[in-house]
Amino acid sequence: MKLVWLFIALFCFVNCFDQLKDSNEKVRYEEHIVAIFNLRTDTQVADLLYIIDLFDLDVWFRQGRTFHILMPAQLHRDLATYDLPSRIMISDVQKLIDIQYQSIEKESDNSDFFSEYRSFDEMNTFVKQLASNYSSIATLVELGKTVQNRPIYGLEISGSKSSTQKKRVVYIGCQHAREWVSPMTVAFVANQLITNYGKNVNITRIVDNFDWTIIPIVNGDGYIYTQIDRMWRKNRRQNNSRCYGVDNNRNWPFEWNTGGSSNIACSDEYAGPSGGSEPENTAVANYVVKHSETIGFVDFHSYSQLWMTPWGYTGRLPDDYAAQYQCGIDASIAIFNTHGLEFQVGNIYDIIYPASGGSNDYTYGVGKVTYSYGVELRDTGEYGFLLPPDQIIPSGEEITAATIAFADCIVRMKNFF
């Protein structure tokens, strides 16, 4: 079978990938689809993994024997004669990309900031304005710089209730550049905490009970580059003459590169030359370690609707798993009660796949942040990474509700007050 695929690979190289793109020319995904493979046997999985490696296919999602894969439509048609059951999930990838580009390229007006996707510069302007307009509770902080020397901004939010024992919760977004709903959702939560403080009893309570640090965009270089290649995932480190990017969420220096990552510089899951080599995740790691009062940490990604505890590097459950799981359940119930979406709760290794060098493994294992999570936002594959802009606000609303439930759960579990 592998010889057959070699011939198909040569054919596809000529016919499917015949346009080599300059780094500043927009990458187009015409005649590309996203297919879902629901496999029955380990042999089928092995065959599909071989094809993925052979064609360097972009796996959007994997859970057990289920895969979502971006691929040329012609290749999917060629696969139809083989025992690899699949169906088309997204029939026109470029159409959805164009919708998102139209959204982020719209000129700013007086409409709701969250009605469209926003550029890196627009996001930075927005968080600066929040800090300026609500200076009594919000402070702009710069955690560090990206590979290309762009600032990594966050908002520190603190209510009027002061305590020397007050704990901190840190939210981050956009470690992975193509997950556009992540920074928008994280910024939505920051906006809710700041603008509704003193107006909404639930918001006021959690802002009084905790200090908050909200960082919408960790990987600014990659986020900007997604306006050239919408499917770009990593940062923009130049690894060699032809390969760019390190996966920030495989680069945290705890159990680094022990599984679920790659040593190959062109891979989407390239872990980097060493743990903590990348300035983006290192800036956040240093912040969390410096703020030893941090008790909650959530790293927001998309997609697949998961609320995940450590560990990612091993199937062994963390010592605090029972408490972590309960607060995840509380958050998922709040999400369901908002717009009816179901989020699964569990440890990364088992609920999705092994992944070492991840953020919440580090914050729990090194930073001793008890309630450390990775969250995959909506949806479960209808749009995947290409969520239409009209779903930004619903995503923000359900995660704001989850934030309230999550903060209340920590208080209940720890009996702080």
**Strands 32-38, 66-72: pairing kind:** antiparallel
Is 376 a catalytic site residue?
A: yes
**Edge-to-edge strand ranges of the sheet holding 86-90:** 58-63, 66-72, 32-38, 86-90
Annotated catalytic residue: which of 376, 382, 397, 398? 376
Both structure tokens of 54: 């052979």
* Cα separation, 377 vs 118, whole angstroms: 18
Contacts of 157 (CB under 8 A, 6+ apart): 137, 138, 190, 193, 194, 197, 207, 211, 212, 213, 214
* Cα separation, 372 vs 360, whole angstroms: 5
Distance of CA 73 to the CA centre of its chain: 27
Contacts of 98 (CB under 8 A, 6+ apart): none
Nearest to 415 by CA among 332, 323, 322: 323
* Residues involved in catalysis: 376
